[in-house]
Chain A
């Protein structure tokens, strides 16, 4: 079994009386894109900042790329790229000088540095304004520069906190492209986002954090399946002939859309039984499928629906 790229065990962090992260454990495998979801104040950023030692956790253990964060922070940071939320670059420095400043923290020759900075500035679309002070940049341009500094050391692991926040559609597309490219080249990406469609599109697995606790974790399909098991199935049926009366102990209710179409809300997946039952009545099934919940449904239900469970 390979070492996880990120391993968080029983992480706790409080600000005064408020528990921002409460016994959170998760692991992210190498080469995986992990989406970290949660409402505002759920503890996403605190988890990420604790992972990087920017806030000091009250308890727990963090291993990144097989190394203990408390013992080898520098060796870890040499191999990761971090994009913080609500951050900015040094306004008094030009785009070039900003990247040069961050590049100086890594073992790179001057030629390598210059080549890398040029590549990144072109990549994020700031090459033309490379000698302009960052304080004259728009929010989106600053975010692009932040993205560039994240990639300065060609990291193996990307930790991105709300990476598309403040970006225009072009910038958001760039971030998605970077995440996809990272995945394609076997790198690991851990990112938090409010944009559920983005998470659904990019992530192999997601974790949903609510009030500092991890409420769900796994591949999106798995989480949806768990959600349906808990919340019930929504089965859409369409037949050639009119639908007969349907009775089953797991059916909660039936919503008839027309004589031939209905949505059946059931406690279990009764598709097999239903197809046999309708066949026995000589009814031809045109379609019989489960209406999958969107990630948004799962997210909202996890946050607001199951908190007290």
Chain B
């Protein structure tokens, strides 16, 4: 068996049985269940879908969403997953390396014919598979919820929902990658775990508030309303908001989902998927960079450090 795949299977097996995975998934399911319960009547009574403006202030995203019942359900799920996905990814990766070093299993493992890169790749692959399976199951659950509520499903919404799930997997892998990096930087698993989960919560819950406070300070005092100066100030403010939000994976994720379910008011239907891809290309690229950069750093650190 390929060593990386052997490690991945072990990682998948142990992670799926871990308490933290069970706690995070159970909490997510509880909140998702409550959310579904809260909006089920609205979903059932929804008339003809329309394109609606949605603002996700915390993540600095404004999106025109074609609100079919499935798009509506996914948007609610996305808001939950923006936080829980980040926490799940960060928590899974945060002790991937240092726990093995601390317990001494890294020494046992590396006494066998396995390269260090196969160890880190295997771990990432295993936990990535777990994340992917979890989200694919959550997608099936969403479809099941729709069917149970007796809400008709259209193929386009299902396809876009599936694409959005793939983006959600990518988004969670970004935090997994950050977690793995922290697990190579900190010696104590407890420290890296706390830092990773703290960072995930900060970026998905508090960072938007910080941006809302910091951006006006960076731009300077607000000129009188209605003047040209105010228009320039507003433009400047928007630029700074966008700049500050651009370092947050949650912003790119929510923006991408917004584009996937994006609607055209004139057509009163989804924008073509090609357009969604074009609009969201920068966000997708940003997420990919945010995934690869920490992983590359973690990789370099793991390959060159002493594991005693």
- Closest-CB distance, B176 to chain A (whole angstroms): 19
A18 within 8 A of B: no
B103 nearest in chain A by CB position: A88
Task: Report the count of interface residues on A (CB-CB < 8 A).
Answer: 36
A89 and B307 CA atoms in complex are apart in Å by: 16
Does B148 lie at the interface of the complex (its beta carbon under 8 Å from any beta carbon of A)?
no
Residues of A close to B112: CB separation below 8 A: 77, 82, 102, 105-106, 153
Q: Which of A46, A84, A88, A93 is close to B111, meaning CB atoms less than 8 Å apart?
A: A84
Inter-chain contacts of A56 with B (CB < 8 A):
304-306
Of A47-55, A242-250, A288-296, the one touching chain B: A47-55
Among B6, B14, B113, contact of A92 (Cβ-Cβ < 8 Å) = B14
Q: Are A52 and B111 in contact (CB under 8 A)?
A: yes
The answer to whether the Cβ of B42 comes within 8 Å of any Cβ in the partner chain is: no
B146 to chain A, nearest CB (A): 36
Does A258 make an interface contact (CB < 8 A)? no
Closest A residue to B5 using CB positions: A104
Give the shortest distance, in Å, between B107 (CB) and chain A (any CB): 4
Please judge, given known A-B contacts A46-B308, A105-B6, whether A87 and B107 are in contact too, CB under 8 Å.
yes
The answer to the question of A127 belonging to the interface, with a C-beta cut-off of 8 Å to chain B, is: no
Chain B contacts for A90, CB-based, 8 A:
10, 14, 105
Q: Are A89 and B107 in contact (CB under 8 A)?
A: no
Identify the interface centre among B110, B111, B112, B308: most chain A CB within 10 Å of its CB: B111
Residues in B with CB closer than 8 Å to A52 are: 110-111
In the complex, A75 Cα to B114 Cα: how many Å?
A: 10
Whether A55 lies near B308 (C-beta < 8 A) is yes
Closest-CB distance, A214 to chain B (whole angstroms): 20
Measured between beta carbons, the chain A residues less than 8 angstroms from B45 are none
In contact, B108 and A149 (Cβ under 8 angstroms): yes
User: Which interface class (under 10, 10 to 19, 20 to 34, 35 or more) fits B?
Assistant: 20 to 34
Q: Is the CB of B110 within 8 A of A106?
A: no
Q: How many Å from the CB of B148 to the closest CB on chain A?
A: 35
Would A78 and B113 be within 8 Å (CB), given that A84-B107, A93-B10, A149-B108 are in contact? Answer: yes
Closest to B101 in A: A54
A74 & B115 in contact (Cβ 8 Å cutoff): yes
Q: A77-B112, A105-B3, A105-B112 are in contact. Are A45 and B308 (CB under 8 A)?
A: yes
- 1/0 per residue A69-85: CB within 8 Å of B? 00001110110111110
> B104 contacts A86, CB within 8 Å?
yes
* Chain A hits for B103, CB < 8 A: 87-88
B142 within 8 A of A: no
In the assembled complex, 14 residue pairs joining A and B whose CB atoms fall closer than 8 Å, in A order, are A15-B306, A49-B308, A52-B110, A54-B107, A73-B113, A77-B111, A82-B107, A82-B108, A88-B105, A90-B14, A92-B18, A93-B13, A101-B6, A104-B6
Known contacts A45-B308, A56-B306, A75-B113; can you find 15 more A-B pairs with CB under 8 A?
A: A52-B110, A54-B106, A55-B306, A55-B307, A55-B308, A82-B107, A88-B104, A92-B18, A93-B10, A102-B112, A104-B1, A104-B3, A104-B6, A105-B1, A105-B6
